[in-house]
Structure 1
Amino acid sequence: MKPPAKMSKPTSLFVIFFSLFIMSEAVFEDQVGKFDWRQQYVGKTLFAHFDSHSQSSNKLFLATDKNIFASFNSRTGDLLWRHVDKVGPEGTIDILVLHGQDALMVVGGGRLLRSWDTNMGGLNWEAVLDTGSFQAACFVAIQDTVKHVAVLKKAAISLHYLTNGHQKWVENLPDSDTVQYQAVYSGGEVEVYVLGVVPNSHLTIIAYSLEDGEIIKQRSVEAPWLSSVESSCVVIGQGVLMCVDPATLALYTLPIQSLDLEVSLGFQPVLVSSQPHPARSPISEFFLQLGPDHHVLLQLNADGYTIAALRDFQPACDINLFSADSGRRLLDTTVIFPLDLNGGKPFKLYVHAFLKKDDSVDYRVLVQTQDHALTFIQQPGRVVWTREEALADVVTMEMVDLPLTGTQAELEGEFGKKADGLFPMVLKRLSSQVILLQAWLAHLWKLFYEARKPHGQVKNEVTIETLSRDEFNLQKMMVMVTASGKLFGIDSKSGSILWKHYLENVQPNAVFKLIVQRTTAHFPHPPQCTLLIKDKDTGLASLHVFNPIFGRKSHIAPPALPRPILQSLLLPVIDQDYAKVLLLVDDQYKVTAFPSTKNVLQQLQEMASSIFFYLIRSDQGNLSGFRLRKDLSTERIWEVVLPTEVQKIVAVNGKRPNEHVHSQGRVMGDRSVLYKYLNPNLLAVVTESTDAHPERAFVGVFLVDGVTGRIIHEAVQRKARGPVHFVHSENWVVVSSSTSSTSIWEGWVDRWRRCVGEWMNGWVGEWMGEWMEGWVGEWMEGVGEWMEGVGEWMEGVGEWMEGVGEWMEGVGEWMEGVNG
């Protein structure tokens, strides 16, 4: 018998090498730590500054209501860097001033003074300010050099070094109990001025020395018409204070002069001045705003007493550049830009004027609209970029399935109905295959046509016309509602904004509720969403019905709601057009149905006895349950009252009606099944103690049956406080709250003791008992027997020692006989 042939060395290496590929697994590089798409926003703009330190600079600095300080590329609108401060009043940005490469901010109501490096976004220094309500801040310069910054509080003024933030001096303001100090000014001299007012009495002006903070001079001017310095007065020219009287329509310097001007009805006149450099005085020209869209350019003459009206700007829809000296419009500076019909009106303009290389004047404009959007415009009216900053505060969102294409709709009916015969079904099958063939040929022709184009001309943008459902229905339409009242339709695959719509009559930061009444599954009926909004003028609720795929307003007229709405319910009841029924409960507990067709009302009467809902009154600590009657009136069936002097209701959350329960129970070790408590009517009520003391604070959780009102379970977390966030799903509730470090340690020790007790009483205790009764016991018995043997051996040794003693005595007697 021949021995088996041996594999050659190259062949064996080849087999081993390829076997490694079978055993290895990998992930594509683009799937590691990557997003499909990501968009970063900063919120509503409060302060905006162009970087004018360098002529070629393209940076834009913003401070927003989300406590964010950010830098943008003004050419592309891309976010360069941003800093997010604490949420709430502690991180509120009070003011942002910019000079050179230093950006100064006062944060937290005058708590901190910070300096940022505008190039890298790094923090230069941070200084803690004295307590007091913040009023104003400004740069202080001497001989064209900015070295200090002045911070005005309600009762004190302090001067800080610009290089390190150290405090040079601080002085208390005289008569701060009666005088409201609201403004601080420096015009490049050796003194800083503080302006205060006693409403409807007199104006106070105090000059402080920059060296030591001593009061150089103080003056009081009678001004019974003045109530506020912040909005009614500005400093112009060589330190001239200009004020406006809204009652008599007069402008005041120190001598009084009036102009023939008309103020819009109900509008408070506002003065706006400009100080381009902190080391120089403000320019002599200033704006007087007479209405929401009406401004007048005024000039203080060289004598310092008379005022001339240079130009009256009536409401317009374009942007022009005018000479501040003469009020004449500069040539070729008109900018006309289109306004988005689905956006808000312009709210504020930030203009950056500069000289080009040929000494001609050019400017850029940042337009902020009412819907918080930012639009950057260059001459001649070209929109460079737009940022939808309303998306920084999304209130609610729904994912809607995309519609089917014509081809997909044909394939849905490929097999026909049961009533169709064999021959019609074969024809439908053949026609659907022909449609598929046509779609495939059209797709090939499109690929061939785009392959002949240059790479830069091929566009893969997603539009509403080309949007359709994918094979696995993973791509969705993200319908978002923001706090500003703007609606967005966003493609979930690419993040592109496909449509947007701004609701002008919506109260900002109100509570919105978005309901999907009909999906795309009911072709040819279009999908339908309903948004419950609150009117900012009347304060009443209204319904906005729209198509979530295209963003168009529906032709269906929603019902009028003359009373405030307390609760809204989406029922599993559909009308003849497959739209779910929305129930609205007003403050008189009356019910309005939408849609309210005859078929819907009949269904509601039949199932009225099985419709329950609840209402919450957090201020009263009241939680009530109601039942619907056949005449569509309501009946209170239970009520839970929590004492408001002890705790307050923070949030109430039920289970989602479309929640999927993946497992009804869990198999135990003894093969029994532990079923989950899946009560669909269960409400989770989270409360927080009214006592703010850390030792007595607590967070409570109550589980209430929404039908019977019975409290099924309650739990209390001691030494805990808000903010509270919780999730209620299936048979569990997860609550997140803040606790002190001491309570965390005590809770950990308590849980450790319980766990150790359970551990010792469990399988470890059983194992220890068996171990002690087992070989340890046998080993101890053997040790006992061994000790008994040792005892017997010791007794023998004792007897042997006694014999040795007797032998020694005999030897002693023998020695005595020998000696004798």
Structure 2
Amino acid sequence: MRLLLLVTIAIFASVTAIFEDQAGKFDWRKQLVGCPAKITFDKVGSKSDRLIVSTAQSVLASLVLNTGNIGWRQIMENPSGSTNGLTFTKDREYIYSISEDGRSVRVWNKNNGVLAHQLPISEQKSEIQAIHVTNQRLHVASGRTLVVFRLGDEKPVETVISKTELTFSAFFQQDDVVIHVSALKNAGKSIELSKITEDGAFEPLKTVEIKDFEPKNCHVQEAYLSCSTGSTLQIVDIFRQKVQKIQLETEILEISGHGPLILARGAKNAQIVEITAENGAQVRKSVDIGAGEALGITENHESVIVTSSDAVRVVFVNSATHFSAKRVKMAENLENSAPKSIFGRKNDKDWEIVIVGEDCHVEFVTVDQNSKSVNLEWSREESLITAVSVEMVDLPLSESQQMIEDEFEDGESNIISAFIRRIQVQFGQLCRQITRSIEKVIYVVTSITKNGNGVADFINSVRSASGSGSAASGPFERDYFNLRKVIIVATSTGTVFGIDSADGRYLWKLWLGEHFQPLESPFDGEKVPLFVQRTTAHYQLDGLASVVFSNKLTHNGVIVSFNPMVGKVVSRNELGYPVKRLSLLPVHTHKHVYPVMLIGKNEEIKIFPSITPEELSATTPYLYLLDIQSQTVQGLKIDISSQKITPVWQGNLGLTAQDDIIAVKGKSFNQKVHSQGRVLVTREVQYKYVNPNLAAIASINRADQHMTITLVDIVTGQIVHSASIGKAAKPIHMVHSENWIAYSYWSDKGRRTELGIIELYEGTEEQHTQKEVFDSKIAEKLPPVVAQQSYIYAQGVDAMSVSETEQGLTTRSILVAHPSGNIHEVSRRLLDANRPMELTQAMREEMMIGYMPEIAVATEEMINYNQTVHRVRGIKTSPSGLESTSLVLAYGTDLFFTRLVPSGTFDILKDDFDHVLISLVLTGLVVGSYVSKRLARSNALASQWS
């Protein structure tokens, strides 16, 4: 019985370890909370050990104060456009937040973030929100609705619905008195004060007049409402129902404060205004501040903190003393923006300060008054939550790879010099290999000396020596299979990151400036186009990448070029006009740089870097312009030599005024198609219609919910195919690759998500003899043969992408991101328009899959297993040096990186293949066979003598 129990336990243990040895080895995940809008220090016992953070991305989180790690995180519904974060308050045990755009209140446990209650407020959405908690009641204001709950009860004590829309709402408390302040939409410059009685009723108190009242210029603190108009500061004492006015020296740009202190910031200084019962409001002190400095006040009201990118100043309110402490300079390749807001408190020993930058960089520092030092405890790069563009760049060639390139790039015709050069290169490679072998031997000997001299210790030391040069810890050079890359991420907050794909660590950071503004896309919203113009394949030249954005002041386009390996800016050019269209040209200069072409609103053309007509003679760039308002598409021909744009064709695609264009997808010019045809069961070849100039345009008719996908040749304007799908609605996602278009949509008729596929073929005769130089202007004999099919998909879709490999040989997979946080790998063999309804014997021999209306969603096909990735906005794939392996980065609220093998690792040994053991076994067999041969010969000789 005991033996059977042990065998059963061993079997279960082996089953659970099948995937655990791979989890986290080739993938990593970065969890983010977003750009903090509100931060409060939360005390547990006698010290503060966590931060309660509300972010602009509707995330409520608890951060461990000592490390900055996420204690817990709650992701709410998608933000409706407000950057003020969630409205929340807290008491000793719970956090109360207004969620669902003001329609409910959620009560969270502070220790673990578990949802305790959800209280309904109203059915109407509203951004005018306020919440306040006392020892007995919870007061909530959302839009026109005012609700009072008794703590612990789910039914409200009192509900008041205003007849007029509110433009301002806030709660104030002094002792046990709670007053609600509101401003009606058509009430002009007055605010209404209402006292909340013990039974929860709202008792009107008084109407207070405020000159030029504007809610966005007001600040709410414990017992005061302060508003600014030019250089005039108006302070409303809520509990005395008085309005005090103070005329300051300069115009007020921002108001903040805590307790009886108000900070009125101007262009060059900030006035500290103190409110007392005896003297009213008076200016206590003036603090000089610069343009790149942020200021705030500590929770105990005794000091004002002014911070910049290189120093922290502490100004005491009740005395004339102040001191400044210099911050430690960041690494040269990590460039941060100026601070935007600070949150601080004073404890017994020092000041604890949270600094939030313009680029959403969050730092927690402590300032010691005695040593006048600033200690950086931790930092978080929260701007990655706004990632909009991603590219992957190969690492530079290693020394041995450069030697090989030098060997074969020698153009000398002299055979003697070529032979000598080859000998030199081979000798250099031999020396390099010997050096590495000696280092491994020294490592093994040292490990055995420290750990022991058994056989197991020897094997472990050899394994460690083999893995000591791993991608994560090895030199910054290309690995043998080109699996390690630099991930370039551009965000909508004005930062560009270089991330190591091996472990997700930051290599460099580039801040694009305080006047940064992303470009606007009619389909994707904010966009920061990112282009890789020169890779590291040319080892004599550095890589080159560029980002394009807009200047916030002039609205003109700006292009910044940088080295993608180190993040060093190469050039920064500002155009004299806004950018209307931009594209990466499919030709390169003599320095192997693919130029970026920018087109302005008045058809101005700029190319970075410049290119000669001779270099462009191989091809003529064609572009298309899509007018969303008029529903028209225009084809353009670019003449680089004359810097002119020539219209070639124009059409309206047959759309009506009820049709809305919702998505456009083209194909990348560097996409590789390995097989030009598809072999049928009848042994005929069905040739693919591979048109690099094909664009897929999706539109929906508002009247009858009809979706149309139109395939247009942008060179000639020819409509290649038009597909119609009935009863379709948003969200729509498309993927365009090779000769097929995959798409997803919500079916109103079936009340489900469906996946569709459109495949185009030329037929069984190849119409273009040279597929590499596909020419849209060559007349085709027959129109393409189109196959179309739809499948039921039992999950929602947030994003779609397709796997990419180096030669396009591996079967492609479609990656589908779910709202639940999973990323599903759907094989192209399943999403096939030619799956037959009935299988014949010949089809079964060809391993064809019969048609079924549903695509199964299996848990083992989730590439992120249990690593949930929330709110995925995009999935970037990139080929590696292995044809079987594709690299994948999913970005949204989280970042997730992994490797994908759609057809299995057919070109490499399995990861758990034990090279050391097999080498020892082979060595033992060779030695054993030699010894056995000698013994057999001795025995044969002895037997003959006997």
TM-score normalised over the length of structure 1: 0.76
Q: Confirm or deny that 1:626 pairs with 2:636.
A: yes
Deviation track 1:156-186 (CA, whole Å, cap 9, x = no partner) reads 321123324431101234x736x74432222
Contact 1:67–1:91 at 8 Å: present in 2 too?
no
Given candidates 582, 589, 599, the residue that maps to 1:585 is 599
User: Per-residue deviation at 1:540?
Assistant: 1.4
CA distance in 2 between counterparts of 1:55 and 1:463 reads 41
Partner of 1:347: 340
Distance 1:439 1:716 in 2: 62
Q: Given that residues 719 and 743 in structure 1 are in contact (C-alpha distance below 8 angstroms), is that contact kept between their aligned partners in structure 2?
A: no
Query: Which residue number corresponds to residue 262 of structure 1?
Result: 249
Q: Which residue of 2 is the match for residue 534 of structure 1?
A: 550
SS in 1 for 2:424: helix
Any idea what SS the aligned residue of 1:414 has? helix
Shift of 1:743: 5.2
2:41 is matched with which residue?
50
Identity of aligned residues (%): 25
Is 1:679 the counterpart of 2:729? The answer is no
Give distance in 2, aligned partners of 1:487 and 1:746: 36
Distance change in 2, residues 1:151/1:472 (3 Å): same
The 2-side partners of 1:438 and 1:762 are apart by 60
After superposition, the C-alpha distances for 1:168-209 in whole angstroms (9 at most, x for unaligned) are: 101234x736x7443222223244332436676433322231
Amino acid at match of 2:517: Q
Query: Residue in 2 aligned with 1:774?
Result: none
SS for the counterpart of 1:51 is strand
Alignment of 1:393-792 (within 5 A): 393-415=386-408, 417=410, 419-440=412-433, 442-443=435-436, 466-504=475-513, 505-508=515-518, 510-554=526-570, 558=573, 561-597=575-611, 600-604=612-616, 606-607=617-618, 610-629=620-639, 631-641=642-652, 643=655, 645-691=657-703, 696-740=704-748, 742=750
Equivalent position of 1:228 in the other structure: 214
Q: Which residue of 1 aligns with 2:117?
A: 125
Mapped partners of 1:221, 1:397: distance in 2: 53
Matched, 1:161 2:145: no
* Superimposed CA distance per residue, residues 550-591 of structure 1 (whole angstroms, 9 cap, x where no aligned partner): 111115x75x53233222232232222222233322223343
Q: 1:366 aligns with which of 354, 359, 372?
A: 354
Structure 1 contact 515–530 (Cα < 8 Å) conserved: yes
CA distance in 1, matches of 2:228, 2:790: 68
Report the Cα distance in structure 2 between the residues aligned to 1:506 and 1:571, rounded to whole angstroms. Answer: 25
For residue 211 of structure 1, report the CA deviation from its aligned partner. 0.6
Q: Secondary structure at the match of 1:58?
A: strand
Larger radius of gyration: 1
* 1:122-145 per-position Cα deviation (integer Å, ceiling 9, x unaligned): 00100111245342323242xxxx
SS at match of 2:712: strand
Change in CA separation of 1:626 and 1:126 when aligned onto 2, cut-off 3 Å: same
5+ unaligned residues in a row in structure 1: which ranges? 1-23, 275-282, 355-359, 753-757, 765-820
Matched, 1:218 2:205: yes
Query: 1:649 deviation in Å?
Result: 0.9
Q: 2:168 touches 2:183 (CA, 8 Å); kept in 1?
A: yes
CA contact (8 A) 1:462 1:496 kept: no
- Is the alpha carbon distance of 1:569 and 1:304 closer, same or farther for their aligned partners in structure 2, counting shifts above 3 Å? same
- The answer to whether structure 1 residue 76 and structure 2 residue 67 are counterparts is yes
CA contact (8 A) 2:589 2:615 kept: no
Residue pairs, 1:1-40, within 5 angstroms: 29-32=20-23, 35-40=26-31
Amino acid corresponding to residue 186 of structure 1 in structure 2: Q
Partner of 1:291: 266
After TM superposition, the structure 1 = structure 2 runs for residues 187-226 of structure 1, keeping only pairs within 5 Å, are: 187-196=174-183, 201-215=189-203, 217-223=204-210, 225-226=211-212
Distance change in 2, residues 1:119/1:449 (3 Å): farther
Contact 2:190 / 2:209 at 8 angstroms: preserved in 1?
A: yes
State the match for 1:376 in structure 2: 364
- Give the superposition deviation at 1:84: 2.1
- The gaps in structure 2 that reach 5 residues or longer are 1-14, 291-305, 368-372, 452-466, 520-525, 757-788, 793-834, 842-946
1:595 to 1:188, Cα distance in 2 relative to 1, 3 A: same
Q: CA RMSD in A?
A: 3.8
**Would the alpha carbon gap of residues 465 and 214 (structure 1) be closer, same or farther in structure 2, given more than 3 Å must change?**
closer
Equivalent-residue separation in structure 2 for 1:256 and 1:126 (angstroms):
38
Larger % of helix: which? Answer: 1
- The answer (yes or no) to whether the contact 2:518–2:549 under 8 Å persists in 1 is no
- State the SS of the aligned residue for 2:68: coil
Q: CA contact under 8 A between 1:399 and 1:478: conserved in structure 2?
A: yes
Write the letter of the residue equivalent to 1:645: A
The aligned length equals 695
Equivalent position amino acid for 1:634 in 2: I
Distance 1:715 1:434, change over 3 A: same
Equivalence map 1:140-179=2 (5 Å): 140-141=133-134, 146-173=135-162, 176=164
Q: Is this contact kept in 2: 1:570–1:583, CA < 8 A?
A: yes
Contact persistence 1:720–1:737 (CA under 8 A) = yes
1:62 correspondence with 2:72: no
Instruction: Give the whole-Å Cα distance in 1 for the aligned partners of 2:435 and 2:321.
Output: 56
Higher RCO structure (Cα 8 Å, ≥6 apart): 2
Find the aligned partners of 1:375 and 1:715 in 2 and give their Cα distance.
52
Q: Which residue of 2 aligns with 1:387?
A: 380
Instruction: Give me the whole-angstrom Cα distance separating, in 1, the residues matched to 2:360 and 2:838.
Output: 62
Deviation at 1:115, TM superposition (A): 0.6
Distance 1:229 1:584, change over 3 A: closer
- What amino acid maps onto 1:396 in structure 2? S
**Pairing 1:89–2:80 present:** yes
Give, as a single letter, the amino acid of the residue that structure 1 aligns with 2:67.
Answer: T
Paired residue type of 2:746? S
Distance 2:113 2:219 in 1: 34
Q: 1:425-474: CA deviations, max 9, x gaps?
A: 3432332233234434554666688786999xx99998999311112222
Give me the whole-angstrom Cα distance separating, in 2, the residues matched to 1:434 and 1:308: 79
Residues 358-397 of structure 1 deviation map (CA, whole Å, 9 limit, x = unaligned)? xx34332111100111111123411111111111121111
Deviation at 1:722, TM superposition (A): 0.9
**Counterparts in 2 of 1:443 and 1:292: CA distance versus 1, 3 Å:** farther
- In 1, Cα distance between equivalents of 2:412 and 2:127: 79
**AA aligned opposite 1:63:** S
Q: Are the equivalent residues in 2 in contact too, given 1:251–1:257 (CA < 8 A)?
A: yes
The aligned amino acid for 2:87 is I
Larger mean CA deviation between 580-589 and 342-351 belongs to 580-589
| One-letter code aligned to 1:286 | L
Aligned residue in 2 for 1:110: 102
- In 2, Cα distance between equivalents of 1:460 and 1:113: 53
- Equivalent residue letter for 1:287: I
C-alpha contact 2:55 2:86 (8 A) present in aligned 1: no
Aligned-pair distance for 1:742?
Answer: 4.0
